[in-house]
Amino acid sequence: MATKHYPTPMLDVLEEGPWPSFITGIKNLRDNHPNERIRNMTNGVLGQLEHSYETRMGYWKGGTISVFGYGGGIIPRFSEVGHMFPESKEFHTLRVQPPAGNYYSTDMLRQLADSWEKYGSGLQTFHGQTGNIMFIGSDSKNYQGFFDEINDYGWDLGGAGPCVRTGMSCVGAARCEMSNCNEQAIHRHLLNNFTDDVHRPALPYKFKFKVSGCPNDCMNAIERADFAIIGTWRDDMKVNQAEVKNAIMKKAAEIGKEGDRAAGRQYMFDNVISRCPTGAIKLNDDDTMTVDNSNCVRCMHCLNVMPKALQTGDDKGVSILMGGKRTLKIGDLMGTVIIPFMKMDTDEDYERIKELASTVIDYWAENGLEHERCGEMIERIGLVNFLEGIGIDPDPNMIQQPRNVSYVRMDGWDEAAEEWFNRKREEKMAAA
Amino acid sequence: MATKHYPTPMLDVLEEGPWPSFITGIKNLRDNHPNERIRNMTNGVLGQLEHSYETRMGYWKGGTISVFGYGGGIIPRFSEVGHMFPESKEFHTLRVQPPAGNYYSTDMLRQLADSWEKYGSGLQTFHGQTGNIMFIGSDSKNYQGFFDEINDYGWDLGGAGPCVRTGMSCVGAARCEMSNCNEQAIHRHLLNNFTDDVHRPALPYKFKFKVSGCPNDCMNAIERADFAIIGTWRDDMKVNQAEVKNAIMKKAAEIGKEGDRAAGRQYMFDNVISRCPTGAIKLNDDDTMTVDNSNCVRCMHCLNVMPKALQTGDDKGVSILMGGKRTLKIGDLMGTVIIPFMKMDTDEDYERIKELASTVIDYWAENGLEHERCGEMIERIGLVNFLEGIGIDPDPNMIQQPRNVSYVRMDGWDEAAEEWFNRKREEKMAAA
Amino acid sequence: MAAEMREPIESGCPDGFQYMHPVMRRNYGQWLYHEDPRPGVLVHVARSGEKIWTVRAGTQRILDVFTLRKLMDIGDQYGEGFVRFTIRSNIEYMVADGEKVEPLVKALEDAGFPVGGTRNSVTTLSHTQGWLHCDIPGTDASGVVKAMMDELIDEFKGWNMPNRVHMTTSCCQINCGGQGDIAINVQHVKPPKINHALVGNICERPSVVARCPVAAIRPAMVDGKPSLEVDEKKCICCGACYPPCPPMQINDHQYTQLAIWIGGNHSNARGKPTFQRLVAAGIPNNPPRWPEATAIVKKILQCYKEGARDWERMNEWVERIGWPRFFEVTGLPFTKYHIDNWRGARNNLNSSTHIRF
Amino acid sequence: MAAEMREPIESGCPDGFQYMHPVMRRNYGQWLYHEDPRPGVLVHVARSGEKIWTVRAGTQRILDVFTLRKLMDIGDQYGEGFVRFTIRSNIEYMVADGEKVEPLVKALEDAGFPVGGTRNSVTTLSHTQGWLHCDIPGTDASGVVKAMMDELIDEFKGWNMPNRVHMTTSCCQINCGGQGDIAINVQHVKPPKINHALVGNICERPSVVARCPVAAIRPAMVDGKPSLEVDEKKCICCGACYPPCPPMQINDHQYTQLAIWIGGNHSNARGKPTFQRLVAAGIPNNPPRWPEATAIVKKILQCYKEGARDWERMNEWVERIGWPRFFEVTGLPFTKYHIDNWRGARNNLNSSTHIRF
Ligand code: SRM
Ligand code: SRM
Ligand code: SRM
Ligand code: SRM
Ligand code: SF4
Ligand code: SF4
Ligand code: SF4
Ligand code: SF4
Ligand code: SF4
Ligand code: SF4
Ligand code: SF4
Ligand code: SF4
């Protein structure tokens, strides 16, 4: 096969400009990689991509491929214009699960690069939108070898198809002062409890876990996960009053009013106090701060602005929301609070969250329609039926507000009220 | 027929307590009215009402009755327990339109009472929830006579059935400083433009007009009218700075801090400034107030709290919202802004609003399903189709926010954009 | 008989100006501000400097001619011959002479008409026809109102609430009454009982089928006659089928109950208008004084009074403290029925971590 | 061949601790606060007093092994051998020695990796596979991102925005990209063109029919063969039928366009999470640099930068000034397509008199 380069006049334009260019990178492989397979494959893929740019159309089609013993984890791609660009007529992507929290040593990344070079195109992505390392560009001859090799030193495939998907967790406890839980432990406990469901797609549709250590939700979990775990706390936030005072003066300096206490206070009023969604904070005349913790909704804003002065509490745990997803079929959904608070300290706590996840997945596997996400199912059957299905009691934290239409059948009211009172009584007794 | 009184042990309980008792009133008629017909009729109705209280069931059924020449305006009632309470086996209600704004001279009310006594039960209501005077309790022999008599001195029936209903307008310009329009004139212009549609039910369902002179919406128009007219203003609100200062000191006195300016200011901060939904007001250090009129959404709050200091502007007019209604079939609906602003000064303005109302009613009459309110139709066909049907251009004031689902067919975008730019250009030219 | 009939004069809505107090007529559209000298009394000041005093009193809405004349007598003797009725069936007397206010107030109170209902009071509950007149009522709204206002009269006469309280009651799920800060409404909990013998004769079957919000009704032959059938699993017991088809009896002495809704706010002040939301149900429809419903209403009002800030309407108070806390402070049970499952329910779910602990 | 196969080791998600910087490992869960010495650099301080510096740099996400090794070389030479990637494919180097920060920043910049993306910057657009790999893409998300970041690099490196700006792009209406402060997404405007010859062989017809959100597809016989038919009046051109049935080609060089959405906010800070909303459509899908889309994005960013207050995310800014004013200041046209008509549309309509004049 001639190593003639396909012309790429449009792609070349994407080499201009200061931002790192993926085109430059691919060309570099094509032009300079010692391995001819790689040079050819990247030449082909550039040719096809140029063709796409010119015609404004894509030219890949799917298929079925997986490593021995698994049913999923690879996105197979066969070219529809393989006759024009035969070098890359197969161009599969392997989805490999990253370490929880996305930590790498440079050594390990070199090792992965070395393996990939042996079998694939030399292109990879850190990470895909679901968090996988995507090794882009393998063919039928090579993918199994690559998998076997990296599998030997600790790497496994992620999800693709109707299965439990690769999870995500924020940097969290490893580096972030806002963290309220061990994001990585939660991530790994959950995912590794479902390896079978990750590797052998047999669910109604995909199911995603994402863990954010606090309500800033750096993992976009509420909107993009079927099962979102968000760290939070129940007791009072901590206020370092000396740092509140410092923050005021520091802010004054930052806005060019060095030493002007009033200016610093004004900034705090306008940017912290008055931005609290529930009006739960007060800046006192003596530059101390008072927090009405019973009204604080843990939105994070004041802590974000004043990380030195304010810290989350000690009674940490997580809230769990279910049913988030993006657009297909009924439009984007946010998750809904199902567990307002759950401790996440002991082994039993971890068992409990795994059980909960299993219950949810089982219920959905039985009741979800084909290609119906958990959130769509909840939408279809109603939150109450879902709660009953998974054995969770209704709680006012699950709602934004009670119903505003009288169209509902309420003949079980008395029993439901009784249950509530019993539960409250038990909670009281448990607390006492 | 014996004038034996039906026993009313349960109703008698409703004579206890300090609030005026309707039971006492009805009994008074039964016991003391010179006219035997009235004594009997009220005796019967009390008997039937007691029966309802005992059995917790109602015993009226409908029918078809109307005055000569009209098709509606009366709610006919025939007793299902007429054998038990024959004196009131017919007990129809005549709905009579009140004067716009509900003004009465004592003389006129006496005259109405005199007429009603001749023909009816002697019971009436000021007013029903749609605003009619309800003359409750007439029979087939008498209602026509009553109507003819009051019709002679200026009273007409209101709506019942699938027709334009009686309108409502607030006290407004007659007594209220918040008023931004001539509520009564708007009310009468609209209603009396549709007398035929009021009296001869031939629409898909009911259609209600309500007029509130300002966004306080004392007529509940947005939620309870198909066509809600709400007074508002476009220019700056008026600030009487001297009265702002007075208000501060007056408030201090009211909260028991006579002479304490800081306390008065604090109250203003907590109750006015920080309650403005768009943060559009500022209380300055010198106790003057600054309003960012371009961000004020005319919510009325600050004017409500400080009626002496703040007044609405001079460039008054109305906003029109359509499609409000209560529960049946799909749950309550609020109206939607269709006309963000419309002047309401000249004869042409009044012609314009009547034309608009006609266009809407015609479009709905043609496109609404049987027993489908205008708001339900809008919900079913979509706001845009409704706008196109009535020939109104889309405006961003009609929405709370743009769509958040990509599921829409947008192939006419360029034309739609072009129309917007043209309209903006014309507006600019018209303004110049 | 038709010979004697005359065509109606289609005069429509009468002009209110003819019955209006001359000071109001003269200063129409020229009012500058108002003050509240005491509960139940307003004084409006016009740009011209003229003033009009208003005295507001509660009535029973369903007036007999005796009561109406008594009210007019007071208007002539202590007032200036001009009155109006508010949207809540309170009567208002307008006088240009401020001296008349106190005697007028006294005359009204003496005659049993409480003066109040302005500003931050609990004004009269608005209500609907009930057993006295309607063909579909599940309760007697007038009775409920009388029973409750008896207990709330001090709140009517005082200014003890954080802001205006507008309550309402409706006697069936059609809800002719408005939304309210608190609404006491009917809630049926069993499907209609069908009198099959009558359906075929009385009801236009396709219309009835179309009326059901959840498509639970289908035409059926029962005992060889055309009738209707209800899928009881689907039926939400709304009673919408009952007006067009009276043989579908929805009312029941036991299964027609009351529910309480709060936070309906029609005004645009501060927030945008809001719908009322369910807080309590399963309340017995218990004439003549509905003590269970009244107790809940009073409890809610008490919590509101204690917890809300000045100018916070009921909904604003609850939104600030959060719904979980509302159930906590009122002691009302939270149940699965509070969780919306109607169209668009997802807007009523909590899709955030905003939670109070 | 099967003989040589071995069972996979189902190790699942690897433990990140093994690759974590020792300072982070030691202080896991014990961080006290952080500071931002300069754009692209964070320093986190632990309760123990230990510190960890983070340097963040933009990458092209689709890395070739050369680039990956270059990044590792920098990590070894100027850093301490530990890196991570953020959810937006930015690389982060963690060092315990603050002295290393400046040389590391310089090395990255010199090698062409811009340092920034922290705090109130425009961080890297997140994106999806596009023409390089996906089977259904309408555009090339990587290309769009490269073209836009070229123009926004100063915003990446600076702290000029009122708050963080998280942008995203997706290459079809399935939207694998997240919601964003600004999202540049595909919008098809014509129904799929069906290759009837292929449907019968390739597509499971009932599944495809079920996939359509508006029930516009029905089975049909075309030229005697089983195929599918689209009701073009109903079709919203979403492309949902295309993945399960490639013969229903939705992509088109002209009718596959771009739309811009703003105000998606996943965080719970201040307000609850919000969905993004449509602001502009009809934008040509114009490789290799998509100048029309870029111009709109830059205009929106500029207005946001000028108009928003500190800490206001895009949605908060627009909610404060109102949508009418947003269209005014950006000069973007408001059209009927902005008015929601999807399920629950009424929640997006203005049912109040809150209007700015
Ligand atoms: C007389 C009446 C209009 C009429 O033509 O009948 C009226 C008259 C006034 N209303 Fe009203 N409102 C009247 C029913 C309403 C209603 C509707 C209702 O009661 O069903 C509402 C709507 C909304 C709702 O959801 O309850 C209403 C919402 C307001 C508001 C907004 C309050 C708020 O903060 O949400 C104000 C402003 C205020 O309180 O300062 C207001 C203010 C006023 C003022 C102060 C306006 C003025 O400056 O004159 C009037 C004196 C009232 C007073 O009671 O202190 N009026 N007002 C109605 C008296 C009803 C009654 O007898 O109690
Ligand atoms: C009398 C009155 C209640 C009262 O005591 O004040 C009333 C009474 C009835 N209403 Fe109403 N409605 C009355 C104001 C309302 C209002 C309030 C308003 O106009 O602001 C509403 C809610 C607003 C609205 O229009 O949606 C209202 C919403 C309904 C509905 C449901 C409409 C809907 O689309 O949701 C029905 C059912 C129907 O029409 O089929 C209804 C039907 C009825 C019927 C005709 C019941 C029936 O179908 O047989 C009631 C006749 C009772 C009777 O025997 O007199 N009534 N009805 C009110 C009319 C008096 C008047 O003319 O002044
Ligand atoms: C590294 C990363 C997490 C990770 O594990 O990968 C991260 C890390 C931090 N985030 Fe984040 N966020 C990261 C993605 C996100 C995302 C998701 C996304 O980018 O798609 C969000 C969610 C929401 C959204 O709608 O955009 C997010 C919403 C926030 C917020 C909330 C901002 C707000 O006011 O709405 C904060 C708080 C703040 O800004 O102070 C925050 C704060 C932080 C802090 C300051 C927390 C801390 O104290 O260490 C971290 C340093 C960040 C910085 O850039 O200044 N992070 N953060 C992600 C970096 C992405 C990037 O390369 O640009
Ligand atoms: C590779 C990736 C985009 C990227 O470049 O980063 C991707 C690529 C595809 N997604 Fe995705 N999705 C990717 C993250 C997402 C996300 C983001 C997330 O997980 O946070 C979403 C939105 C969140 C969610 O789950 O809703 C997402 C929502 C979808 C959907 C619509 C799901 C829905 O219910 O709305 C589909 C369609 C389907 O599954 O039928 C889809 C389908 C696809 C397919 C398999 C298209 C297809 O049906 O053939 C794409 C394969 C592309 C390829 O050739 O590799 N992808 N997809 C992301 C996965 C990489 C990884 O594993 O790390
Ligand atoms: S989600 Fe919270 S804990 Fe996790 S990285 Fe973001 S700010 Fe830190
Ligand atoms: S975290 Fe949010 S809700 Fe809590 S006090 Fe701070 S700003 Fe207010
Ligand atoms: S709606 Fe406005 S103008 Fe009319 S009475 Fe109420 S406050 Fe006055
Ligand atoms: S009327 Fe309402 S929006 Fe306007 S300034 Fe006053 S409080 Fe603010
Ligand atoms: S609420 Fe129901 S029962 Fe009461 S008057 Fe209206 S329609 Fe009749
Ligand atoms: S009560 Fe309501 S839901 Fe039940 S059948 Fe009748 S209309 Fe349908
Ligand atoms: S957004 Fe669409 S085209 Fe892009 S990767 Fe996802 S599925 Fe493929
Ligand atoms: S493009 Fe979307 S709406 Fe059109 S037929 Fe396909 S799935 Fe249905």
- Pocket residues: Cβ below 6 A from ligand 5: A 170-172, 176, 178-179, 212-214, 216-218
Neighbours of C158 (CB within 10 A): 15
Regarding the beta carbon of B238 and ligand 8, being less than 6 Å apart is answered no
Q: Are the C-beta atoms of D27 and D47 separated by less than 8 Å?
A: yes
Other C-beta atoms within 10 Å of D217: how many? 25
Residue C208's CATH number = 3.30.70.20
pLDDT digits (tens, 9 = 90+) for B107-155: 999 999 999 999 999 999 999 999 999 999 999 999 999 999 999 999 9
Would you say residue A231 has pLDDT above 70?
yes
User: What CATH number should be reported for the domain holding residue D32?
Assistant: 3.30.70.3340
| Nearest ligand by distance to the CA of B233 | 8
8 Å CB contact of B406 and A327: yes
**% of chain C surpassing 70 pLDDT:** 99
Are both D72 and D215 inside the same structural domain? no
Please compute Rg for chain A using Cα positions: 26
* Whether the predicted pLDDT of D284 surpasses 50: yes
- Section D274-298 average pLDDT: 98
Ordered domains of chain A (ranges, CATH): 1-160 (3.30.70.2500), 168-232+315-406 (3.30.413.10), 238-311 (3.30.70.20)
The pair phi, psi for residue A187, each rounded to 5°, is: -55, -50
Indicate whether D273 and D174 sit together in one domain: yes
CA of B191 to the centre of ligand 1 (A): 23
Query: Average of pLDDT values for B253-279?
Result: 94
Atom of ligand 2 nearest to the CA of B127: 63
The finding on whether B300 has its CB within 6 A of some atom of ligand 7 is: no
Mutate to test the interface with A, among B278, B334, B405 (most CBs of A within 10 A): B405
pLDDT tens digits along C126-171: 999 999 999 999 999 999 999 999 999 999 999 999 999 999 999 9
Kindly tell me if the per-residue pLDDT of B61 is higher than 90. Answer: yes
pLDDT by residue (tens digit) across A35-84?
Answer: 999 999 999 999 999 999 999 999 999 999 999 999 999 999 999 999 99
Q: Which residue does chain D place closest to B415, by CA atoms?
A: D335
pLDDT at residue B248 above 80?
yes
Among C61, C62, C173, C175, name the best residue to mutate to test ligand 9's pocket (greatest count of ligand atoms within 8 A of Cβ).
C175
Ligand nearest to the CA of A215: 5
Query: Which residues does residue A415 pair with via DSSP β-bridges, in sequence order?
Result: none
Beta-carbon neighbour count of residue D22 at 10 Å? Answer: 13
Q: Work out the end-to-end distance of chain C between its first and last CA atoms, rounded to an integer number of angstroms.
A: 75
pLDDT, average across residues D219-229: 94
pLDDT tens digits, one per residue of B323-369 = 999 999 999 999 999 999 999 999 999 999 999 999 999 999 999 99
Provide mean pLDDT across the span B90-110: 98
**Domain endpoint, select from D236, D264, D293:** D236
Q: Is the pLDDT of residue D293 over 60?
A: yes
- Can you state the percent helix, strand and coil of chain D, rounding each to 5? 30, 25, 45
pLDDT for res D86 = 98
pLDDT of residue D1: 43
Whether D26 and D170 share a structural domain:
no
- The answer to whether residue C353 sits within a structural domain is no
Per residue, the 3-state secondary structure of A146-196, as one string, reads HHHHHHHCCCCECCCCCCECCCEECCHHHCCCCCCCCHHHHHHHHHHHCHH
Is B319 in CB contact (< 8 Å) with chain C? no
Q: How many domains does chain C have?
A: 3
Whether D291 and D144 map to the same domain: the answer is yes
Name the residue among D324, D292, D288, D329 with its Cα closest to residue D308. D329
Query: In Å, how far is B419's CA from the nearest CA of chain C?
Result: 30
Question: What integer pLDDT is reported at residue B431 of this predicted model?
Answer: 87
Check residue C2 and give its pLDDT: 47
Q: Is the pLDDT confidence value at C3 over 70?
A: no
Q: Do both D81 and D217 map to the same domain? A: no
Residue C157: inside a domain: yes
User: Do the bridges between strand A310-311 and strand A238-239 make them parallel or antiparallel, or are there none, so unpaired?
Assistant: antiparallel
Please check whether residue C352 lies inside any domain of the structure. no
pLDDT of residue B3: 66
C32 lines ligand 1 (CB under 6 A): no
Residues B180-234: tens digit of each pLDDT = 999 999 999 999 999 999 999 999 999 999 999 999 999 999 999 999 999 999 9
Residue B229 alpha carbon to ligand 2 centre in Å: 20
A365/A226 Cα distance (integer angstroms): 13
pLDDT at C5: 85
Measured between beta carbons, the chain C residues lying within 8 angstroms of A228 are none
* Claim to verify: residue D66 and residue D202 sit in the same structural domain: no
Is pLDDT at C191 greater than 60 in this prediction? yes
The pLDDT value given to residue C179: 95
Alpha carbon of B231 to ligand 7 centroid (Å): 9
Q: What percent of chain B has pLDDT over 90?
A: 99
CB contact under 8 A, D347 and C346: no
Report yes or no on C166 lying in a domain. Answer: yes
Same domain membership, residue C177 and residue C324 = yes
Same domain, C171 and C286: yes
D263 plus D178 within the same structural domain: yes
Side chain identity, residue B240: N
Task: Give the whole-angstrom CA distance, residue C136 versus residue D188.
Answer: 51
Write out pLDDT tens, residues A30-46: 999 999 999 999 999 99
pLDDT tens string D316-335: 999 999 999 999 999 999 99
Q: What is the mean pLDDT of chain A?
A: 97
pTM for this predicted structure: 0.97
Q: For residue B325, give the ligand 2 atom closest to its CA.
A: 26
Residue nearest ligand 3's atom 7 by CA: A218
Domain-ending residue, one of D85, D111, D137? D111
pLDDT digits (tens, 9 = 90+) for D42-100: 999 999 999 999 999 999 999 999 999 999 999 999 999 999 999 999 999 999 999 99
The answer as to whether C271 is a domain residue is yes
Question: Do C101 and C127 fall within a single domain?
Answer: no
Q: Say what the pLDDT of residue C220 is.
A: 94
Q: What is the pLDDT of residue A418?
A: 98
Q: Are residues C154 and C27 in the same domain?
A: no
Q: Give the mean model confidence (pLDDT) for residues A135-164.
A: 97
Q: Is the peptide bond before B83 cis (omega within 30 degrees of 0)?
A: no
Q: Output the average pLDDT for chain D.
A: 97
> Which pLDDT band, with edges at 50, 70 and 90, does D5 fall under?
confident
Ligand 1 contact, C61 CB (< 6 A): no
C356 close to D (CB below 8 A)? no
Q: In this complex, which of A13, A157, A177 lies closest to D289 when CB atoms are compared?
A: A13
**D71 and D214 belong to one structural domain:** no
Domain of D178, CATH number, reads 3.30.413.10
Across the interface, do D134 and A105 touch by the CB < 8 Å criterion?
A: no
Decide if A219 contacts A212 (C-beta within 8 A): yes
Does the pLDDT value for residue B2 go beyond 70? no
CB-CB contact of B58 with C134 (8 Å): yes
Which pair of tokens denotes residue A202? 């047999």
**Residue C1: pLDDT band with limits 50, 70, 90:** very low
**Contact yes or no for A298 and C353 at CB 8 A:** yes
Q: What is the dihedral of CA A417, A419, A422, A427, to 10 degrees?
A: -110
Centroid of ligand 4 to alpha carbon of A129 (angstroms): 7
The set of residues, in sequence order, having a beta carbon less than 8 Å from that of A243 and lying 6+ positions away, is A306, A308, A309
Residue D181 lies in a domain: yes
Domain that holds residue C226: 193-236
Partner chains of A (3+ C-beta pairs under 8 Å): B, C, D
Give yes or no for a contact between C248 and C264, defined as CB atoms under 8 angstroms apart.
no
- Chain A positions in Cβ-Cβ contact with residue D311 (cut-off 8 Å): 271, 275, 301, 305
Predicted local distance difference test score (pLDDT) of residue A409: 96
pLDDT cut 90: percent of chain C above it: 97
Alpha helices in C111-246 (DSSP H): 141-157, 196-202, 205-211
Q: Is B41 in the pocket of ligand 8 (CB under 6 A)?
A: no
Q: What is the pLDDT of residue C192?
A: 97
Domain boundary among C236, C265, C295: C236
Angle CA A166–A172–A174, to nearest 5: 105
> pLDDT category, D3, cuts 50, 70, 90?
low
Could you tell me the pLDDT band of residue A3, with boundaries at 50, 70 and 90? low
Determine, yes or no, domain membership for D3.
Answer: no
Asked, for residue C248, whether it belongs to a domain, the answer is: no
Largest CA distance in chain B: 82
Which atom of ligand 10 lies closest to the CA of C237? 1
Q: Is the pLDDT of residue D136 over 70?
A: yes
Tens of pLDDT, residues D230-252: 999 999 999 999 999 999 999 99
Distance of CA C95 to the CA centre of its chain: 29
